Every structure is written in structure tokens, then in C-alpha cells.
Amino acid sequence: MNLIDQIRLRAQGTAKRIVMPEATEERSLRAADIILQEDLARLILLGNREEISANASHWNLQHIHKAQILDPKDHDRKEFFAQMLFKLRQSKGLRIEQARIMVEDPLYLAVLLIKNGDAEGEVAGANNATGDVLRPAFQIIKTQPGITAVSGAFIMIMPEKTYGDNGLLIFADCAVNPDPSAQELAEIAIATAQTAKNIAGIDPKIAMLSFSTKGSANHPRNDKVIAATQLAKALDPQLKIDGELQADAALVEAIGQKKSPGSPIAGRANVLVFPSLEAGNIAYKLVQRLANAEAIGPVLQGLAAPINDLSRGCSVEDIVNLVAITANQANGI
Ligand code: ACO
């Protein structure tokens, strides 16, 4: 059974409540229908009730009636959530009048539902930019204890099985932190190891990537990666990690052993941690397009509740898969 099928099977019947704030959008509603049909999650769909119902019947979707539908502009708990948002953000200067407007935004209502215990997770981003999905999550849900930087990992499934774990690799951070500090990079490495274990089911071997291998070039950008590697080892001495490594030294056995002899990771890495968001985001999109890899994610790591962001170019299947991953994260598996 392939990884996606395993992920979907694990989510089945777990009945986690996942909010989908873009329910009037075609791919999201079609995905919701499949999720409900396969029983991958219970769904709370946010949007205009009449529009959702009309779209569901227009596209002949048979299962949408099983979802709870909530119209952010018209429901009886608007004032309750406005007060809740105001209390959570008044120290940041938010006024109650602003909170009353913000709770009509489905992306804010989604995180407030999670905060209030009405839902366990959220998937959004088919119609909204990453920053607009992440900001409410950062402000209201916050990070897990011990984590300061939320990051985004991609599970990359290569048609060519030569590299990583039989063609399976995890890339991070591809979605959130434009210029992570050494401390943040160390946290990203640790969080990505967890994603590799819990979501992809592999034993993580982490390469901290740069344009240099073990001092072959001298630059402050390499120093940051070296410092991050040391910090990660100090934070988790069990971690299988090495850096700084170039991508070929990380992946290709012969090159790895030549450039970094004796490294337990060089040539065997299955988790690639990139030094910046430019590198991580460009790398995953190039590998996806040029190598025809399947890119699952970004799986957000380090938030206090599972919230995942879609690419606006996502397919219906991408949405279904990310909801299944979110349900599994909510279930702690
Ligand atoms: N982890 C946890 N919390 C964070 C993080 C982070 N990485 N970054 C910001 N925050 C928190 C801040 O502490 C702050 O909280 P507070 O208001 O309670 O004090 C809140 O989020 C807002 O912080 P700002 O500094 O104002 O952050 P801003 O809203 O400007 O930006 C954002 C945050 C949106 C995530 C920004 O870093 C960003 O745009 N990143 C790039 C996202 C992106 O475009 N990715 C590429 C596309 S994704 C793809 O292709 C799949």
C-alpha cells in the first residue's frame, strides 16, 4: 500500500473535526464530498449556506449534507467569538469593533472554533495566500511548548527510488520562515524529524544543507548552518543529523563519503533541511515539476493544533490528502 493510502486509511473513522474555511470554492467542496464519503474526518464547512447547498447540488455532490455548515456572517455565536477574539488580542491593541469585523473572516472563525474546542484542526489555502492562512493561526493557536518557529515540511515521493528512503524524502522549511536563525533552523530540524517519523513513517536521517560541505567554503551563511546543527544535537542528542552538507553530498553515497568521510548521514539523508525559505520553496517546486515527484504538504509543524495550508495550485486530491494528514496529526499519529 502506498503512503497516501496508508495516511487515508489511518484517518478513516477517527472522526476528528476539521474546519474547511473555503467551502464555497469548487475544489474544496469536491474534496469535502470525498472526505465525507470515505469518512476521513467530520467537517465544519464555513461559507454561505445557500451557496454551499446550491454548489453541492450543481456538482452533484452526494455527501455534503453530513457536514456542519456555519456561515461566518450569519450565526448565533458571532458576539461570543468576537468577545473571545477581543480578549485574546486586546493586549496587542485590538478593539472590540475590529474583533466583530474579523470574526466574519472564515480564516479567523476557523482558528477560534479550534481554540474554543469545537474543532481539532483546519485545512485552508486553496483560495488564500499562505500568510493569510498562517497569521490567524500564529496569533490565536500559537506554538507548541518549546517551539518558537512554526515551519512547513513537504513529503516528497519520487518516481525514481534511488535517493532518500526508497524515493521518499522530507523537505523543510518550504513554507514559512524566510530567513531562519540558527536556533530556528535547529527547531525546524527537530520538528521535521517528528514529521518524518509520525506522518511518513521513516527513520529520519537529517542533512542540514548549504552550498558548502564541511568547511569547503567559508561564509557566515555556512556558519549559521553549522551552528544550527550543533544546537539541534544539543537539544536532541538522539537525532541522526549532520551538516553543513551540499545536496549531492547529502544524497549520493559516493559523493557523500568523498566530501564528508565517515559521516553517518552523508549519502543517506532522507530529511533535507534548507538554510532559507528561498532554497526550500524553490527546491520542492523544482523537484515536483522537473522530477515529477508527488509533493504532499506543506505539513505545518510546531503549532499547538494541526492547521495546514494548501498551495493555491492544489488539486482536489491534494486537499483530501491534507485533511487526512491533519486528522492524523490531531489523533497524534
Ligand atoms: N512561528 C510562530 N509564530 C510566528 C512565526 C513563526 N514562524 N512568524 C510569525 N509569528 C507570529 C508572531 O510572533 C506574531 O504573533 P503575535 O501577534 O501574537 O505577537 C504573529 O505571528 C504575526 O507576526 P508578524 O511578524 O507580524 O508576522 P507577519 O504576519 O508579518 O508574517 C508570515 C508571518 C505571514 C508567516 C510571514 O512569515 C510570511 O509571509 N512567510 C512566508 C509565507 C509564504 O509566502 N510562503 C511561501 C509560499 S507557501 C508554498 O508555496 C506552499
List per-block mean pLDDT (blocks of 10 residues) for the chain, which spans 333 residues: 91 96 97 98 98 97 98 97 98 98 98 98 96 96 92 95 96 96 97 92 96 90 96 96 96 95 95 98 97 92 94 92 94 77
| CA separation for the pair 179, 222 (Å, rounded) | 13
* DSSP H/E element including 165: none
* pLDDT at residue 162 in the model: 94
CA–CA dist 205, 239 (Å, integer): 8
Ligand 1 mean position, distance from CA 272 (Å):
22
Tell me the H-state helices in 39-124.
49-58, 78-89, 96-102, 106-115
Does the pTM surpass 0.95? The reply is: no
> Residue 122 C-alpha to ligand 1 middle, in angstroms?
17
All domains of the chain, ordered by start, with CATH?
3-142+307-330 (3.40.50.10950), 151-290 (3.40.50.10750)
Q: Which three cell numbers stand for residue 21?
A: 474555511
pLDDT value of position 215: 86
Ligand 1 atom having least distance to the Cα of 149: 1
Name all residues whose Cβ lies below 6 A of ligand 1.
Answer: 92, 130-131, 134-135, 138-139, 143, 149-150, 175-178, 281, 298, 311
Q: Which atom of ligand 1 is nearest to the CA of 138?
A: 21
The residue assigned the cell 507548541 is 144
Q: What is the pLDDT of residue 332?
A: 81
CB 288 within 8 A of CB 162: no
